[in-house]
Amino acid sequence: MTVPAALGASQIRDAFRRLFPDASNDPVLAFAPGRVNLIGDHIDYCGGSVLPMPIQYGTWVAAAPGGGAGVHARSNRQPPLTLRPGDTAAGQPVGHWGRFVSGAIGVLSGDGVRVPEGLLLYAAGDIPASGLSSSASFSVALLLAIGAVSGQRAEGLALALAAQRIEHEYVGVACGLMDQAAVVLGHAGAALRFDCASRLAEPVALPAGLSIVVADSGVPRTLAGSAYNERRRELDRVAQALALDPATLAVTLPARPSLADRTLARRARHVASEQRRVNDACTALGRGDLKGFGALLNASHASLRDDYEVSCTELDALAETFRSQPGCYGARMTGAGFGGAVVAAMAPDQVDAGSSAAASAHRQRFGTTPRIFVARSHGGARVHG
């Protein structure tokens, strides 16, 4: 497994100083991790419980007041960005990553935070795979850094909700709260059980003998350009047909919902069964039942593939290849789907051999080598000085 070392605070601070040599203030640094969802996909936006965990990779944002009006932003992955006063209104055509920057400023300003008229920003991400919530990571890091420069920043659930508003109001993705909650509320060394209806969170310890392996399929995906919003509309139709509240659908759906529309019946079946799998997965981890946990991952993938139809050939093949490796308890696609990554539960002493074999098989079939790493949680988002 060859993935880059995670970025550190000194690298971000040095890059900021090179890009903005005339800055009169040292930057505030904020870091927000990415996340991998162990189980519970596509039930966060209908009130389900989910089981994500933050990872060691994420997004750094360095911020300092600028000398004039407007925002000057630089990134290790995106073209330079300049926002004029007035560009922070929702719907302004400022480009994709500009919508996150303008959204953070707009959300903070709307909450009464006095953001400086001029800002210098440097953003650097090191998440090595698609589908690990880089957007939530970026949103949270922006809010933390700009809020700190402004002398006021949100924390806890309020921070997660503010990041969700950036997605809803500025980016155009009707996402649930799972990603933001995992990024903000995560605990070191643990997954996070998050109830999206009550918004209660609790850590779930990962037992000894379990490694969480993430493998990028090599298929990029963008939520706004995918069927993500279409699936949300379909669940609204399910709720309407069954006279249920769409905000709590995951916990009110009957085990075998009766719907005349076969497509809607499959969507509803996934939601109902995935919620049960999350509950069972938390129980299995608490008991140290790794085989039972792996079987739930496999069942989740089948449901996402067949009932919710958000997988793809590459994800299916990569998950199946991991399952065939010695020491693999189970594997599934993770995240919104339509590309992105696979998560596998493996015995630690089998990770290297299994990952190498899976990468080789994927390369032979699809011509691309997946980036694979062992995910580790160091906790949620934080400000560095």
For 359-382, write each residue's pLDDT tens digit: 999 999 999 999 999 999 999 999
* Amino acid 132: pLDDT: 79
Judge whether residue 1 has pLDDT over 60.
Answer: no
Closest CA to 104 of 164, 186, 33: 164
* Average pLDDT of the residues of the chain: 92
Angle at CA of residue 93, ends 92 and 95, nearest 5°? 125
Which residue matches tokens 């850590």? 203
Gap between the Cα atoms of 346 and 328, Å rounded: 4
Gap between the Cα atoms of 298 and 333, Å rounded: 9
pTM of the model: 0.92
For the chain, the C-alpha Rg in angstroms (whole number) is 21
For 61-88, write each residue's pLDDT tens digit: 999 999 788 899 999 988 999 988 766 6
Tell me the mean pLDDT in the region 188-205.
96
Judge whether residue 142 has pLDDT over 50.
Answer: yes
For 254-266, write each residue's pLDDT tens digit: 888 889 999 999 9
Round to the nearest angstrom and report the end-to-end CA distance of the chain. Answer: 33
* Amino acid 224: pLDDT: 45
Judge whether residue 90 has pLDDT over 80.
Answer: no
Query: 21: which residues sit within 8 A by CB, 6+ positions away?
Result: none
* Between residues 255 and 292, the one the model is more confident about: 292
For 8-27, write each residue's pLDDT tens digit: 999 999 999 999 999 988 99
For 173-185, write each residue's pLDDT tens digit: 888 899 999 999 9
Tally of CB atoms within 10 A around 312: 18
Count of helices and strands (H, E) across the chain: 11, 12
Q: State how far Cα 205 lies from the chain centre.
A: 20
Q: 3-class DSSP state for residue 354?
A: helix
CA distance readout (Å), 85 to 41, 73, 119: 38, 14, 11
Q: 3-class DSSP state for residue 291?
A: helix
Residue of 87, 179, 195, 216 with catalytic role:
179
Sequence-ordered strand ranges (E) for 131-220: 190-195, 201-205, 211-216
Phi-psi region of 30 (alpha: psi -120 to 50; beta: other; left: phi over 0): beta
Say whether 179 is catalytic. yes
Q: The tokens of 140 are what? A: 């949270």
